[in-house]
Structure 1
Amino acid sequence: MTLAPILAASFVVQLHVVTALALIPLTAIQFWRPKRGDWHRWIGWAWVVLMTVTAVSSFWIHGLRLVGPFSPIHALSLFTLANLYLGIRARRQNRIIAHRSHMIGIAAGWAVAGLFTLLPGRIMGQAVFGG
């Protein structure tokens, strides 16, 4: 494992990586802690902010260009931003099942996207596996 590919990347890639990695422990905490109370709300807001920064920063990353400067991963970023809004709105309307569904959907999409970053030739793949 080496940080060289990440350190050589642009600021926006570094920001994207840092926020995405910070989401790992917060996601685990949210899934395994009780779902009520101040801790869930505080960690949830931190998670929302980090997820928003991760999704928005992706629009300035253009390593895979399939449709102009964009790739299918950018559709996942749009999905994430829409579901963050819908999840927050559902919670404010006390629709807990809808809130849970939106947030789990975001976390699942984020996990799949994270696995794709480990492919050969991608920055995270180079950082984790070398080469």
Structure 2
Amino acid sequence: MQRPAAERKERTDVNFEPLLTAPPAILFHLAAATTALVILPIQILSSKGTVGHVWRGRAWVAAMVLTAAGSFWIRGTDGSLSWIHGLSAYTLVSLFFGLVAIRRGNLSSHRGWMTGAGIGLVIAFAFTFLPSRILGQLLGG
């Protein structure tokens, strides 16, 4: 037996308007971040030190640099940077030192810096679902 319409929970539809009207800087940032997020679990689960790991790693670092650097073109309504830009700066530093470490053969340091950058990506991703952000609005926030 179906409940009366007043008692049924409304189905929340996805609202694509915030994405369709987003500035190019946000779309660029979203595309780069999505690429990095797709590569990350594959990289984590794959064998380390292989040719595939190296090439996926290069692609991931490129996507991460584009994501982090691109975030600096995304500003608040008053033109200011937010605390999340500090995470972008941390990410760029982590990637730099992770690359320096692997060039020097320091696998432990490389792993630590890259893990830090990956954790930063996941934290930033979680914050994109806040109602004030485009992905949060996309999902009805």
Give TM-score, length-normalised by structure 1: 0.92
- What is aligned with 2:6? none
Asked if the contact 1:55–1:80 (Cα under 8 Å) also holds between the matched residues in 2, the reply is yes
Q: Counterparts in 2 of 1:1-131, with a 5 A limit?
A: 1-63=14-76, 69-127=80-138, 129-130=139-140
Question: What is the rounded CA distance, in whole Å, between the counterparts of 1:80 and 1:99 in structure 2?
Answer: 13
Q: Deviations over 1:35-63 (max 9, x none)?
A: 01110000000001000000011001113
Question: What is the rounded CA distance, in whole Å, between the counterparts of 1:87 and 1:20 in structure 2?
Answer: 19
Query: Counterpart amino acid of 1:79?
Result: Y
Give the number of aligned pairs. Answer: 128
Question: What is the rounded CA distance, in whole Å, between the counterparts of 2:77 and 2:123 in structure 1?
Answer: 16
Query: Counterpart amino acid of 1:118?
Result: F
Q: Percent identity?
A: 39
Question: What is the rounded CA distance, in whole Å, between the counterparts of 2:104 and 2:16 in structure 1?
Answer: 43
Residue 64 of structure 1: how far off its partner (Å) = 7.1
Asked if the contact 1:13–1:61 (Cα under 8 Å) also holds between the matched residues in 2, the reply is yes
From the superposition, tell whether residues 3 and 19 of structure 1 become closer, same or farther in structure 2 (CA, over 3 Å).
farther
Query: Counterpart amino acid of 2:48?
Result: K
Asked if the contact 1:117–1:123 (Cα under 8 Å) also holds between the matched residues in 2, the reply is yes
From the superposition, tell whether residues 73 and 64 of structure 1 become closer, same or farther in structure 2 (CA, over 3 Å).
farther
Q: Root-mean-square deviation (CA), in Å?
A: 1.4
From the superposition, tell whether residues 23 and 64 of structure 1 become closer, same or farther in structure 2 (CA, over 3 Å).
farther
Residue 99 of structure 1: how far off its partner (Å) = 0.2
| Segments of 4+ moved more than 2 angstroms | 1-4
More helix by share: 1
Give TM-score, length-normalised by structure 2: 0.85
Gap runs ≥5 in structure 2: 1-13
